[in-house]
Amino acid sequence: MCWLLLLGIIAAVIWGFRNKSKVSGLLDKVQGLQLTLADANSNLEFVQLENGKLSKELSEANSTMDTQSRRIAELERKLDNSQTRPPASGSLEDSEATKKTGRMPFFTVFTDDSGQFRWNFKAKNNKIVADSAEGYTTKQNVEKGLNTLINSIKEDDYKIKIND
């Protein structure tokens, strides 16, 4: 019976070592998974940091584009206001004749430094040959003045005076 007891103790010790090796193997696997998880967390933090940088750069680029778009729109508006050409009808809109025949003499309406509207009459070579000599307070007034001038010339309501 002693032998049986001794055999039982030896079997229990062997059984314990076997289970201990299984537990040890499981612990090794858990430690490996913890290292893998730590690496994944580190990589995730790096990606999040880079994503934050890229988001900031994208936001700055969008802001710059918005500013540039507003500047371009403002410049286009100023260009449109300064290059208005009236057709023979006296309107400040481009005529079909101007579009079909190419470069023609034209009026340019612009705002001077004091905020008043003025006009220039430019020849085909883009040289100024006449100007308003006075400022107008509104676009309607400058258009009215130009229409009066154009209609006077069309109706032969003018004369040429040459001083000797």
- What CATH number has the domain bearing residue 105? 3.30.160.160
Whether 103 is covered by a domain: the verdict is: yes
Query: How far is it, in rounded angstroms, from Cα 44 to Cα 38?
Result: 10
- Give which of 151, 120, 148 is closest to 134, Cα–Cα: 120
Identify whether 53 is part of a domain: no
What tokens appear for 143 in the block? Answer: 């258009």
Give the pLDDT confidence score for residue 138 in this predicted structure.
92
What's the average pLDDT block by block, 10 residues per block, for the chain (164 residues)?
A: 68 62 68 80 84 85 82 75 50 50 80 91 88 91 89 78 82
- Quote the domain boundaries for residue 87: 83-154
Domain-embedded: residue 120: yes
| Residue 35 in domain | no
Q: From residue 4, how far is each of 1, 7, 11, 15 by CA, in Å?
A: 5, 5, 10, 16
Strand order in the sheet with 106-111: 106-111, 117-122, 128-131
Looking at the structure of the chain, the number of domains it has is 1
pLDDT of amino acid 45: 86
